[in-house]
Amino acid sequence: MYLTREQEKMLNGEYGWAVAKALELIVKVGEYLGADKLVPIMHAHVSGISYKNIGEPGLLFIKELFRGGGIARVYTTINPGCVDLMGSSRIISNELLGKQILVNEYLEKMSMKPTYTCIPYLHRPPAPLERLAWGESNAVIIANSFYGAMTNREGGPIALAAALTGYIYHAGLQVMDNRVVEKEMVLDQSIGEELYGALGLWIGENITGIPLIRKHRLSIYDAKIVLAASAASGSHGLIVLENITPQNTYRISDKVEKISVDVKDLRKYRGTPPSVGEEVLFYIGCPHLHPSEFMFIYKYLEKQEHVNKYDFLLTIPRIYAEIFSREIEVLRRKGVDIAIGTCPVVSVLSKKYDKVVTNSGKAAFYFKKIHGIEPYITSLKKIVEMIIS
């Protein structure tokens, strides 16, 4: 692999131990993937920071990089951890608070932004063709598909290493020749909000390569649900959305296979509605709520007396604790459980449930896989209506 003089110096330890280790990791992975060089990035997003998932080895790895002089050389955001940063959730356990705070402190001391969210584009929307090194599959696929940026699905350690060096390997979706559409999906126009989570799970399981979705104008809120689910049940990093994905950020192959999606095929991914006697969690916020989604829910529930007939959980970015403090307090007083800077997939649940009702295909996928809880997927609006009925 070709390295510049600066990169050689980094590797030789002239920029400190942490930078040398970080660059060594990127070079090794890059060589394995056949990269010809390293490229500079504008923004790293570090995932894999939940203490519940990384445990003591992950904490030690981060601590060593900090002690070795690690400091973010580019704008770096941080994914959710395993605790509610305001400590008031009854659904997400704060039993790992001490350990998570240690992880957070090391990252913040390395000049990473305390965002604790999986929608880093909220803080810094990427530009078309801008190079990033993002962990967190839902953020990656939005960056590529919605903003036309260039990032692979990086693991937590690689995204961290890219933050400390400012470079990533030139392979995969960093290379224009690999951003080629070979499948074209025409969606049944009856596929609406209630089926978006299921649609994403279907794409993840049934489509390989880079598909193009035609004739279906998805808002960023819809795209967030479809794309996150496809990146959870499959390995997608880019799905081209007609009239949305910036045109100079992908190419279309001469041979494109047409695929049609039938509504009937999507139904089995939705699961079944809750039945009487089941302990149910209603959950919205995977990926974390966008400000407009949060305000939509707030406006809907603002005039209700109480909504605490059910367990209703919202998960949101850390910054909302400041910008929506009044709204959060109002919703909490009505019985809504709001967890900040975390989510139920990367944390420990305080209670046992038989079923989760969610708008998120990604949450449905992981609730079943990690917590053994059966999901039912519907739309955000339907969930809010169910809560107040």
- What is the contact surface with ligand F3S in residues (CB under 6 A)? 79-80, 118, 138, 228, 286-288, 315, 343, 345-346, 362-363, 366
User: Quick one: 110 or 345, whose CB is closer to ligand F3S?
Assistant: 345
Buried/exposed code over 258-276 (b: 16+ C-beta within 10 A; e: otherwise): eeebeeeebeebbbeebee
CB of 342 to ligand F3S, least distance (A): 8
User: Quick one: 7 or 115, whose CB is closer to ligand F3S?
Assistant: 115
| CB count in 10 Å sphere of residue 235 | 11
CB of 378 to ligand F3S, least distance (A): 17
DSSP 197-230: HHHHHHHHHH--SEEEEES----HHHHHHHHHHH
User: Quick one: 184 or 311, whose CB is closer to ligand F3S?
Assistant: 311
User: Quick one: 168 or 314, whose CB is closer to ligand F3S?
Assistant: 314
Reduce the secondary structure of 36-57 to three states and give it as a string. Answer: CEEEECCEEEECCCCHHHHHHH
CB of 6 to ligand F3S, least distance (A): 34
User: Quick one: 15 or 366, whose CB is closer to ligand F3S?
Assistant: 366
| CB count in 10 Å sphere of residue 178 | 16
Please, is 161 exposed, middle or buried when counting C-beta atoms within 10 Å of its C-beta (0-12, 13-18, 19+)? buried
CB of 359 to ligand F3S, least distance (A): 12
* Closest among 360, 373, 336 to 284, alpha carbons compared: 360
Phi then psi dihedrals of residue 175, to 5 deg = -110, 125
User: Quick one: 195 or 286, whose CB is closer to ligand F3S?
Assistant: 286
CB of 50 to ligand F3S, least distance (A): 8
Displacement of CA 54 from its chain's centroid (Å): 17
User: Quick one: 19 or 228, whose CB is closer to ligand F3S?
Assistant: 228
CB of 137 to ligand F3S, least distance (A): 8
CB of 343 to ligand F3S, least distance (A): 3
CB of 128 to ligand F3S, least distance (A): 23
The HSE-up count of residue 249 (CA atoms within 13 Å, CB side) is 28
* Closest among 382, 359, 195, 367 to 289, alpha carbons compared: 359
Q: Are 77 and 124 in contact (CB under 8 A)?
A: yes
User: Quick one: 80 or 335, whose CB is closer to ligand F3S?
Assistant: 80
DSSP strand pairing (38-40 vs 75-78): unpaired
Please, is 127 exposed, middle or buried when counting C-beta atoms within 10 Å of its C-beta (0-12, 13-18, 19+)? exposed
What is the amino acid identity at position 309? K
